[in-house]
Amino acid sequence: MQLLRILAFPFSLIYAFAVYFRNLLYDTGILTSAKMSTPTICVGNLSVGGTGKTPMIEWLLNHLSGGSKLAVLSRGYKRKSKGYVLAQPTSTAEEIGDEPLQIYSKFPEVAVAVEADRVKGIEQLETSLRPDLILLDDAYQHRKVKPSFSILLTSYGQLYTKDWYLPTGNLRDSKSASKRADLIVVTKCPPDLDNECQLRIIQELNPEINQKVLFCTLEYDKSLKGEKADLSILDLKNKGVTLVTGIAYPKPLIEYLKSQEIRFDHREFSDHHYFSGKEIDFFNSRPFVLTTEKDYMRLKDKVENLYYISVRHRFLGEGKEVLKKRLENLSN
C-alpha cells in the first residue's frame, strides 16, 4: 500500500494544483461563496476522515445554549439515497448515512438533514423548519457556503502540516486553507499532553493572529450499549470478543481496549463499509461482537450479541471554556 502511494506521487501533484487553482478562484472572487441568512457553524478537516468530526458535532449540540432551534446538515456519505432527505424515526443508515443516523439517534429533537449541495440543503432547512443555527458536518472544503464560524480539526497523530495531498497522502484540501478557520482543534491527543508539547504543536501549525488552537483527547464510555441490557467495559474481560470496525482510524480504540486488558479478535474494514451477508453471518457465529457507535448504525438488527462503545471529546486545559465563550459570542 505504501509503495502504491509513492508511485502515485505525480498524481498527487496534479491534485494539489487542482485544489490550489479552485481555492484561488474563490479567494479572488471569481467564484463566490453564499452568505446564508441562518447562522452556520462548519466542522471539518483538510484530510480524509479520522479527525473526530461527528463527536465534535455531538459536543457542540450538547453545549449550545438551550432554547435554540438547531439543525445539522451533512452530505450523508455513502448513503444510497439522492438529494435532500430529512431524518425521521424510521430512517436507516442506507437512507441518510451512518453518521447522520448516529447524531439523530442521540438528538431526536434536532433536525438532521443530508444533501450533497450545502446551499440547497440550507435553503430547504430554512424554508421548511427555520432553525436558529445550522451545524455543517464535514463541510470545510465546500466553499459554496461562507459559514458564520469554522472549526478545523486535525489529528494529533497526523497534523495537516505533516501530511501530503491525495493519493500519496491524505490531504483533500490545501494546507493554506487552514487560514480560513476561526478555531483549530487538535484531536486525539494523549490525555497527559503537557503545555510544552502543546506549544510545539502550535508552533508547527503556525496559526494566524486571530486563530486559537485547542487540544482535546478521546474519552470512551465505560458502559457498552446494545439491544439487550447495558454492560460494563469490565464485563468483557471474561468474554470472547470480536471487535468490528469500519472507521478511518481505529488505533485509539484498539489502544484503549488493550489498556483495559480486553482480549479481542479484530476484524477491520474500510470507513463506512457496508457489510455483506457473508460477513453478517460470520459475526452472528461469534459469541460477543463489539463495534463503534457509527458501525452499530449499519449493524443493528442484523447481528446478535452486538454492543457498541461510545466516544466523546474531552478538551484539555481551558479549551472547553474557550470554545463555549466563542459559541456565546456567535449567538449574541
At position 245, the amino acid (one-letter code) is T
Q: Percentage of the chain with pLDDT > 90?
A: 86
Q: Which residue has the cell 439491544?
A: 227
Can you read off the three cell numbers belonging to residue 247?
472507521
Comparing 7-11, 52-56, 100-104, 141-145, the range with the smallest average pLDDT is: 7-11
- CA distance linking residue 28 with residue 44, whole number of Å: 23
Q: Angle 53-63/319-331 helices, nearest 10 degrees?
A: 60
Can you read off the three cell numbers belonging to residue 245?
470496525
Grade residue 157 by pLDDT with cuts at 50, 70 and 90.
very high
Residues linked to residue 133 through DSSP beta bridges, in sequence order: 70
Calculate mean pLDDT across residues 95-122. 96
- CA distance linking residue 101 with residue 246, whole number of Å: 15
Asked if residue 167 has a cis previous peptide bond (ω within 30° of 0), the answer is: yes
- The pLDDT of residue 237: 86
Please, are residues 75 and 169 in contact by the beta-carbon 8 Å criterion?
Answer: no
- The pLDDT of residue 31: 94
Q: Which residue has the cell 463541510?
A: 139
Q: Percentage of the chain with pLDDT > 70?
A: 98
| pLDDT single digits (tens) 28-49 | 999 999 999 999 999 999 998 7
| pLDDT single digits (tens) 285-308 | 999 999 999 999 999 999 999 999
pTM: 0.94
- The pLDDT of residue 1: 54
Calculate mean pLDDT across residues 53-65. 93
What domains, with CATH codes, occur in the chain? Answer: 2-218+315-331 (3.40.50.300), 222-309 (3.40.50)
- The pLDDT of residue 49: 78
- CA distance linking residue 206 with residue 54, whole number of Å: 26
Comparing 131-135, 207-211, 236-240, 316-320, the range with the smallest average pLDDT is: 236-240
- Per the prediction, the chain carries an average pLDDT of 93
